[in-house]
Structures are given as C-alpha cells and as structure tokens.
Chain A
Amino acid sequence: MGEPALDPEAFLERLKADHRILRWEPLPPDQVPPVRESDQIRSKSSLEYLHHHWALPDTFDPAVAGGGFRGKIVGIVGRLTYRVLSPYLHAERDLLAHVVRVNEALEQRCDELTLRYEQLSREMINRQAAEAANQAKLAAWLHLDPPRTSSPDSRTPRIAGSGDSAIR
C-alpha cells in the first residue's frame, strides 16, 4: 500500500469530532397572530347608519305644516311639491336602495376577503411552523437518534430451506 494505513476507528472518531462543531438547528417558528374583530368592515358605525336610514320620505307629512291658514297653505304647497317631485323621489329611493344593496354586497365581499386573507396567513404560518418542526426533527435525527440499522424482520430465525436439514 502506497498510502499510510488508516485505522477506521480512529478515522471515525476524527470524523465525529470534525462534524460536532457543525451542529445545526432550525429557527424557532413565529407565533400565529390572533384574528382581530375590528379588522372586519361590518363594525363600522356609518354602515350601521346607512342600513337604518336609507329609506327617505316620499310623501308630505301634514303634521309638519302646523295649524291655521298658514298651515293650510304650507300643506297645499307641500303636497303639491311632493306630487310634482314624486317620480324623482321614487327614482331616488330606488337608487338609494340599490346603492345600499351594492354597499351590502361590497361589505360582505370585503369581510370574505379579510377572512380568507386571515385564513391564508394562518395556513402559511402554520406551514412554516410545521416545516421548522420537521427540520428540527431531521436535525435531531441526523445528530442524535441512531437509526434502526437492523430491521425487526432481520432477527427472524433462519428456517427450513436454509436450516439444519438442508445442505447449504
């Protein structure tokens, strides 16, 4: 042999010593932030107001005219005005109804997207946490736990065919 002899036991000891300083551990996973109720648009007070006040009056209320001659004149003018403006007021009411419905739909969509974002964010963080845990397991496996280098079935005794009664 041209090369100097190598004792495998000493060689292994040196290998173990060399690799001991290169021990690696994964970063600990971040904590998953809790979902905040205030992140949802449904909690805004202006939307509550819109839901309760979108229906404006489309007829004249005689109570607001007051009494006496002046009241009668105001009542006549008021009814006349509402009658003349009636098509516009109905159209405006329909428009407002649609605007509120659209707002309602947008609000629901925003809430859905917010929840979906929260869900995806949680899934991503959970995945990162699982990967970090998996890496931690791998690191422990590589550095600490000896594998089962002989399987349970390798202990199965030799039986007929290669046993005592056969010529091997």
Chain B
Amino acid sequence: MTRQVAGALAVVAEVHVITPEGATTRTSLDSVFTLHHLGSPIDRSAELRRDLLVEAVSDTGHVDDPVVLDEVGKLLDQDLIDPWLAASDLLVGLRPDLAVIVGHQNLGARAAIDRHLPDLPVTLMALGTSSVSVGFPHFAEMFARAHSVLAVTDSERRSILDHHAGTGAVHRIGAPLAANASALSEPNTWVGDTGYVLVLTGVQNHGEHHENELSRLLRLRFPDTPVGISHTDAFCAWHGGRVNEGWPIERSSDLARLMAWARVTVDLRPGTFFARRCVDSLLYGTPIVVPHDSRAREHAERGWGGLWFESPGELIWCVEALLEPSAHDTFGAQGRSYAEDEYGSTDRFIDRVAGACGLPSAAATVGATA
C-alpha cells in the first residue's frame, strides 16, 4: 500500500521514500520515486516486542494508567527510534513540503522529522491496524502531530475518529484495484463453471476449527451445489458429497479465477486490513457473505454487495438467499458498481490521495517515510 500511495503522490509531486532497510546507505530510483535506504534495519524482535506489549497491556485493562505506560513506553520504543536517526539529516537535505509517515506506531520516523523540521506538515497513514493499537495512548501523539490521516476504508476512518477526536482530517483513500479480465476467460478446472459456492478460510483442511465447522455446515446444507473450500494447505472441491482435493490456492490469479466464476464468495477470514479479497470478488460481480465483526462487512453493508452473518444459521440463510438468481444478480450488480466506484479507478485513487495530503496542483516535493 505504501508503494501505491507513493506512486499516486509521484503523479503530482516529487517523491522520496526513506526506509531504514538495506545493508548499506544508498539511494536508488524505484520506478516513479527515489528510494533512500538508511542501512540500519529495524530488528524484527523489536517490532514483535512492541506489538506484544500493546496487546498485553490492552488485555490487562491498564491502558490508561500513566505509571504503567511510562514504564512500558521505554520498552515500546526500544530499538525502534535509533534506526531512523540518519533520516534527520537526509530530510534536511531534501527540504520536503510534506512528510507522509507510514504506520501510526512509527515513532522513529516522527522523531527523525521533528529533530530538525518540527514545523513540517505530516500526513499519517494508519494501515490495517487493529482498534486496540489505534487507541493505544502511547501512539496518540502520532495522531496529534498529523495534519491529516489516511485510512483505506470507512470503518478504519471511523475507528480513528472514535479514538482520536481531536485529530486533523481523516480521509478514506480506498485502494487502486482492477478486475483481471483474463480470470473471466477460463474457470478453475476443479470446480468449473458449475455455479459453486466459494469458501475462503485461513486454516488447514484437517483440524478442529470454527472455520472448518462452518465450511462443513455449508457443504452439508447444500449437497446439490458444488462448494469449493480454500484452505491454507489444500483446495477442496465438493460435488454431491464427493471431494476432489488439490493444491492450495496461492497465486492471486488462481484466486481471481475462482471468485470470477463463483456464485457466492464466503470469506470466513477477511483479515485485518481492508478485506481486499472481498473487493476483488465484488469487482467480478460475485456477491459476498462475511462475518459481521470483520472489516469486510463494510463492503457488504455500505456497498450493498452482499450479506453478513452473526451465527451459523444466518450464514446458511445468507448463502441460500444469494444463490437465488434475482438476489444474486441484484447484489452482484450493486457490489460491482460499489467496487468499481470506490476501488476500481487508479485516477480517482490518485485524486483522493493528493487531495487528502492537501497537495497543490503545482509540483511539490514530498518525503515519505516507510
């Protein structure tokens, strides 16, 4: 997503991306922007420790205790600030008009900016983060520092506003996606063009898991409808009680073909980002059924592209309803219209990103820290 935002900004401004990654300090041209490697990569364990601490403190209910936060704050920032130090001098040399910080937890990038350029306007990208992390007090200063905040979905935008009422403008920028036309030319050979139900899970085929239980319920409830179930270790195509088991779906083009020819896409684990798979499904005109407490619900609810369920019974009713031709066609058309409007245009994405960053129409210099 950083690359897409940087690419969008590069249309209207000169963009430099700074990252602590890399074995040595070096600068290179990466398509439409300049990439600066600081050569001081952040240790994975530091990021893991930070995320673990956020989850742990949130679970204990001490998120508002200043004593706890003071002690925890040092640990949260340990080994995450220093790798960005070299960015300070680099930013002074670049003299940017605007800095875009990727990730609301990226306090190191903010420290690098504030060291010499405390008045530089900052735009914050809060990407696919959990509500727990967005609302964690230690990161509140990031939202306070930002002149504007970019969120991919509307639910993400609302989550930020709920936790940080005083934050500057929070903009939904969506994402530039497009249906792969070749996916519509040839169906997946395991399920063909049989009007099947596609079930996407995030678990292995064998093993006790609620996603497997829901998948089992679906194939038992619809014995006459082919059901394709995507597991992390296999793809199972059920036809009339018999199963053909194949390789797991790993390539996005294979998943696109499956969604393009499916009657309904049931995504049991849409993920914590913006549920891209569901938007892809809608771009192919395939309505979705998703958990009610997932990020994907926004696409079904706001985009009128499908339904959401709270219980296994509702899951069955939703799929049953969407297999019915008139409901399927209507929700499919509504969903496709929504997905194309909100996610299907690169030009509109560029406009939204540029507008959210408050960029003037004339070319400007932008420093993005990734």
Contact = CB atoms under 8 A, between A and B. Distances in A.
Contacts of B314: 12, 15-16
Interface stretch (B41-49, B69-77, B185-193, B251-259): B41-49
Given A5-B334, A15-B318, A164-B106, A149 B17 contact: no
B51 A165 contact: no
B272 interface: yes
B272 A154 contact: yes
B48 A6 contact: no
A68 interface: no
A11 B321 contact: yes
Contact of A8 (B128, B269, B304): B304
A160 B47 contact: yes
B327 interface: yes
B204 interface: no
Interface string A141-163: 11111111111001111111101
Contacts of B311: 141-147
B42 A143 contact: no
Among A146, A147, A166, the most chain B Cβ lie within 10 Å of the Cβ of A147
Contacts of B154: none
Contacts of A19: 313, 317
A164 B105 contact: yes
A167 B370 contact: yes
Contacts of B35: 167
A157 B304 contact: no
Nearest to B214: A147
B210 A151 contact: yes
A60 to B, nearest CB: 82
Contact of A12 (B19, B308, B330, B333): B308
A145 to B, nearest CB: 6
Among A142, A148, A156, A157, the most chain B Cβ lie within 10 Å of the Cβ of A157
Given A144-B311, A157-B130, A6 B42 contact: no
A21 to B, nearest CB: 13
A159 B48 CA distance: 6
Given A6-B331, A168-B127, A149 B293 contact: yes
A61 interface: no
B202 interface: yes
B210 A164 contact: no
Contacts of A1: 330, 333-334, 337
Interface residues of chain A: helix, strand, loop or mixed (majority): loop
A19 B129 CA distance: 36
Given A158-B128, A158-B272, A160-B48, A165 B41 contact: yes
Contacts of A168: 1-3, 127, 370
B293 to A, nearest CB: 6
B17 to A, nearest CB: 7
A141 B209 CA distance: 15
A6 B272 CA distance: 27
Contact of A9 (B128, B301, B316, B317): B301
A6 B307 CA distance: 11
B97 to A, nearest CB: 22
A1 B272 CA distance: 32
A148 B293 CA distance: 9
Given A8-B300, A15-B321, A168-B1, A3 B271 contact: no
A7 interface: yes
A114 to B, nearest CB: 40
Give 8 closest A-B pairs by Cβ, nearest first.
A149-B291, A157-B51, A160-B44, A164-B103, A142-B313, A3-B330, A165-B42, A164-B106
Interface of B: 1-3, 17, 19-21, 35, 41-42, 44, 47-48, 51-52, 54-55, 83, 102-103, 105-106, 108-109, 127-130, 132-133, 202-203, 209-211, 213-214, 268-269, 271-272, 291-294, 300-301, 304-314, 316-318, 321, 326-327, 329-331, 333-334, 337, 370
Given A142-B316, A146-B310, 16 more contacts: A3-B330, A5-B334, A8-B307, A8-B308, A11-B321, A18-B317, A19-B317, A142-B312, A151-B202, A151-B210, A154-B272, A155-B132, A164-B47, A165-B19, A166-B370, A168-B2
Interface of A: 1, 3-9, 11-12, 15-16, 18-19, 141-151, 154-161, 163-168
9 contacts: A11-B321, A15-B307, A16-B314, A150-B269, A154-B269, A158-B129, A160-B42, A165-B42, A168-B3
